[in-house]
Amino acid sequence: MVGMFRSHVWDPVLLVSQIIAMQCTFYVFYGFWLVFVDLILDNPKILDQVFKYECLEFGSSKGRTIVAVYVLNSLTCALGLWVAVGRAKQCTDFAFTVHLFHLIVCWIYNRQFPHTVSWWLVNIVCIAMMTVLGEFLCMRSEMKAIPLSTVARSDL
């Protein structure tokens, strides 16, 4: 159909580029927030903070700090959904895809499947937050009025 917002043609180049953009957004801003918080709190900067399951815990202050960084990152990634994806219908798919790839990378890094309840809980909550905020931002953009002409009409 001509005149639709987007056609339903499968565009693998667009899809792969959006996935790469979202994955880059996830890790770049996660690293940014970690470095920022580590500099403020004078924590050591180690790669385990990004990929180690045991670092996402509620029992220690460092673990709670990393959980807070993870939550901040999900809010930042929601902005990434708004910029890179721009469709409310696709926010859930991309939020799950980002966290699925993160699960795979963590699995490879740790050489075992995640077994901590806190890691799963934080990831599920962050997927939900990222999806809801991303959908909200995308819907606001999708609901804007579309101007039909650029010339002001005087014969109304």
**Is residue 153 in a domain?**
no
DSSP 84: I
Which residues are CB-contacts of 38 (< 8 A; sequence separation ≥ 6)?
A: 44, 45, 49
Q: Is the pLDDT of residue 1 over 50?
A: no
Q: What percent of the chain has pLDDT over 70?
A: 89
**Is residue 5 in a domain?**
no
Q: Report the pLDDT value the prediction gives residue 3, as an integer from 0 to 100.
A: 46
Q: Which domain holds residue 33?
A: 12-141
In the block, residue with structure tokens 């696709």 = 90
Q: How many domains does the chain have?
A: 1
The residue among 147 and 71 whose pLDDT is bigger is: 71
pTM, full prediction: 0.82
